[in-house]
Amino acid sequence: MTAAAETTIDIDIGGTFTDCFVRTGDGRTAAVKTPTTGYRLAVAFMRGLEAAAVELGTDVRSLLADTETIRYSTTVAMNTLLQRLGPRLGLLVTEGYEDLLRVAKGAAWMDAATLREVRDLSTVTKPQPLVAPEMTLGVQERVDSFGVVMRPLDEDHLLEGLRGLVDQGARGFVVSLLFSYLNPIHERRIRELIEAEYPECYLGSMPIMLSSEVLPKRWEYTRTNTVVLNAYLHQSMWEELSGMNDDLRDLGYRRGIMMVHNTGGMAEIYGTSAVHTYNGGPVAGLIGGSAVGAELGYDNVVVTDMGGTSFDIGLVVAGSTRFYQFRPIIDRYWVDMSILETRSIGAGGGSIAWLNDAYGNRLEVGPRGAGSMPGPACYGYGNTEPTVTDADVVLGYINPDHYFGGQMKLQHELAEEAIREKIAGPLGISVEEAAARIKRTVDSNMADVIARETYLRGYDPKQFILFAYGGAGPTHCVGYGSVLGIERMVVFPFSPVFCAWGSSTMPVTHIYEASRRIELLSPMAMIPITDYDAFNGVVAELERQARKDFENEGYDPDQVSFGLELDMKYGGQIHIHRANAARTRLTGEEDVRAVCEAFRKEYAEVFSPVNVYPEGGVEIHNFVLRASLPAARWALVPQDDAGRDPAAARTGTRPVYWETAGGRVDTPIYDENALRPGNAVEGPAVIEGEYTTVVVDPGWSADVDRYLNLVITKKGLAITKKGQP
């Protein structure tokens, strides 16, 4: 794909706000937020484009005419799943495995359960399958573990069962047969029969998804879960995106829309599975954090995104984001996908504070949220339950007249009323103290999830720098970061739209996976294999698929670079570990030993050298190929130092509540857009941006670096590395 224009548009639709980041061919940028329109996400999408066009001094049609790529991440899949709005599906499995989803795994009741739920065994349940038991058909066929057909497909029995499923309301089919990842012949024949029975030209045409195409990997339960989820989410995703595509076409846009994937890759809409879009926004933020961290010289970073609905975190360790979820869970369903590791809890500006009478009126914040409509009580749209944003207004952190760049006027009295009625009154405390407790509780919740993600991986959070983004992240970062002893935090000029900005740094990347068991090193004797065709054949087939897909999307396949990862384990051990492959082809014993050595090093780092066990042999179980085009072009633009005095940006003072000061203090207020490189803001202070508010607690300071980033540090901490801490 070649184009003279280089303008790119990145959109991230969240539960409360829709973020838009535009980078033009001449280096100008626009970052805007608009409220998410849950009734039709395309409306928020187009409003974001309109606002960005105005900021750039043009109109949407002209902006789109100069645009090379639109990258898009969305919560459509998440919302559809949470609300259980997907279609009624029919599931076709090998006869004898009809209860596959209900049996699940022995500990499926623990999937995505909180610690409190796990402890309460009397109420915990397994996840309810998305396909009802009566909508499952056992297909008379059998392929063995070597891909050999042991029992031919009974087509008459299949057609009779299909009609029964349709009579019961099936509006789509999922086909997931035993060992179809090795030999998909029966799955493909079933699709032919369904298409012949319900052809596309009829209103009764049935969408069909085959596990051998969506996820050609072993483990029947997780493979079937993944394909069922994909089918369940597909229709709502397609309806939303096709409507958005139509709006863009009407405005003259003729190029593609790239969807951000939770694998860290992206692809055009027509080459994207719905299940890959789940959690795409946080992954874009994680990759963006890695990119800007490398630019600024930070190797170990905790990226934190506090928006209106959720709080998401991810880790960058030694410059790498290559942490995959050990048991990837979507909602409550264990899937078999290479999802980059991020964690999310219900802790955002719209998270509702409530009293848990089961624990003696204990104050809780989240996970339930007010969303964008009606939103926090201070929005004035009818919500009467207090939220984190209401607490921030009462404490004086957020200026009701400056919220959302002054576009939304908040009502202080409604925030006070909600906190007084629901929290302060029942607890017998002042509204101010109740608001402070809300802030302290949500900050502690966010610190807890950071602690779990770092300590459980063997890292000390104090050795990390913290990136704070999202609309509420800069407001609370000192609160949740200082609990963990983190002493450096960075807030970027584009922090309010960081996930959209992050996707702008991502190269076009596709991920391909295949399950094959190959014994690289024999047990006991530890003799390397000499037959390399099995290994090389799998990689060659994945590369062929990649080249074909890139060519179909209009890219030059010769520009694609490949990286290979392998799911491996030592013989006799249960769990596999993913490691970077030292080779993409095996041509001799040296290559085999190089792959084994690369695995040994990564395995030892994670599980300690004591657990390395080459005597058991070394096995490959899955291949993961990453195919990428050259990275997107971007750069932070340095500016001249203007000295330490921030007086020119000071707009006044207001009384702000500081817990460490024991009450309200007349606090300096600064305009973020007026701060210049070199300026140093001493806490306590509040820095107001267009879409966020940066809170600098007593004992902290915020230094403006040469890229206009705010580097928040504990007072007395040395500043190094080209003006960076």
Task: Say if residue 709's pLDDT is above 60.
Answer: yes
pLDDT of residue 79: 65
Task: Say if residue 113's pLDDT is above 70.
Answer: no
Reading the block at residue 5, the tokens are 């224009």
Comparison of pLDDT for 544 and 552, the residue scoring more: 544
Confidence of residue 399 (pLDDT cuts 50, 70, 90): very high
Q: Where are the domains of the chain?
A: 7-80+238-277, 84-227, 281-346+443-504, 351-440, 509-628
Least reliable range by pLDDT among 111-125, 162-176, 562-576: 111-125
pLDDT of residue 190: 96
Q: Give the CATH number of domain 281-346+443-504.
A: 3.30.420.40
If you average pLDDT over each of 281-285, 613-617, 700-704, which comes out highest? 700-704
Task: Say if residue 223's pLDDT is above 90.
Answer: yes
Least reliable range by pLDDT among 173-187, 326-340, 387-401, 454-468: 326-340
pLDDT of residue 721: 41
Task: Say if residue 432's pLDDT is above 90.
Answer: yes
Handedness of CA 564, 565, 566, 570 (dihedral sign): positive
Q: How far apart are CA 643 and CA 411, in angstroms?
A: 38
Per-residue pLDDT, averaged over 97-115, amounts to 79
Give the count of beta carbons closer than 10 Å to the beta carbon of residue 254: 8
Q: Exposed/middle/buried for 26, CB within 10 Å: 0-12, 13-18, 19+?
A: exposed
626-656 pLDDT, tens digit each: 999 887 778 888 999 999 999 999 999 999 9
577-628 pLDDT, tens digit each: 889 999 999 999 999 999 999 999 988 887 888 889 989 999 999 999 999 9
Please name which of 193, 122, 121 lies closest in space to residue 154, comparing C-alpha atoms.
Answer: 193
pLDDT of residue 3: 38
Q: Global pTM?
A: 0.86
Confidence of residue 281 (pLDDT cuts 50, 70, 90): confident
395-426 burial: b if 16+ Cβ within 10 Å, else e: bbbbbeebbbeeeeebbbebbbbbbbebbbee
Angle at 182 between CA 176 and CA 186, to 5 degrees: 50
CATH match for 7-80+238-277 among 3.10.310.10, 3.30.420.40, 3.40.50.2020, 3.90.230.10: 3.30.420.40
Q: How far apart are CA 404 and CA 410, in angstroms?
A: 10
Reading the block at residue 270, the tokens are 């027509």
Confidence of residue 117 (pLDDT cuts 50, 70, 90): low
Comparison of pLDDT for 347 and 242, the residue scoring more: 347
Task: Say if residue 723's pLDDT is above 80.
Answer: no
**Cα dihedral 120/121/124/129 (nearest 10):** 160
Confidence of residue 433 (pLDDT cuts 50, 70, 90): very high
Least reliable range by pLDDT among 517-521, 570-574, 681-685: 570-574
**Hey, is 30 helix, strand or coil?**
strand
Task: Say if residue 4's pLDDT is above 60.
Answer: no
pLDDT of residue 720: 43
pLDDT of residue 725: 34
Confidence of residue 233 (pLDDT cuts 50, 70, 90): confident
Equal fold, 7-80+238-277 vs 281-346+443-504: yes
Task: Say if residue 239's pLDDT is above 90.
Answer: no
Per-residue pLDDT, averaged over 239-259, amounts to 84
